Structure 1
Amino acid sequence: MSGAVAPGPHVTEWAVRLRVTEDGDLTRAHAALDTGTGLIETDAEARRSPLDPSDPAIGDELAAGRALMDLGHRLLRAGSVAAEAADTARSRDGQ
């Protein structure tokens, strides 16, 4: 045994800001994630069909859900780009 102490878990807490606005039959959502090293933002919208009930909560849920899905895709893309860059750097350095 080397006596080395195993490091504790890495813990990071991120907060997502989500702003939803409704104007008539159009609901817009803006989502922003501050990772501490960068800001990822996106916008999405939902439009009420004339056949749908006039319930603002439905537009809020659809617009917010779309914004959060896009935010997730952007976060995955950023992680993939970072992983590929790290792999390229390791290959270049011969590791």
Structure 2
Amino acid sequence: MSSAPEDEMVPVQPPARPPRLPIGVGIAVAVLLAIPCIALAAVPTYSSETPKLFGWPFFYWYQVMWVLITPVLTIAAYLLIKKAGRR
């Protein structure tokens, strides 16, 4: 029985890995992404009613503030990674 050409095993090259980030960029990205996690994990630091902002207790407006800040930090981390990849 002869084997057809389509039956032959052709080695497939795995995709090339992107270059590693410089250590300083990696640390900066980790810090930027860790800031909101740490700030929101420390519940005792913001579990109070005062000071109020527009009638909202501190507990609520503090968390809403982080909902707005977190994407900014995430975009900054993304831009650092993208800039480091261009080198």
TM-score interval (norm. to shorter):
0.3 to 0.5
Q: Which structure has greater strand proportion? A: 1
Q: Which structure has greater helix proportion? A: 2
With CA pairs under 8 Å and 6+ residues apart, which has the higher RCO, 1 or 2?
A: 2
- Using structure 2 for the length normalisation, give the TM-score: 0.40
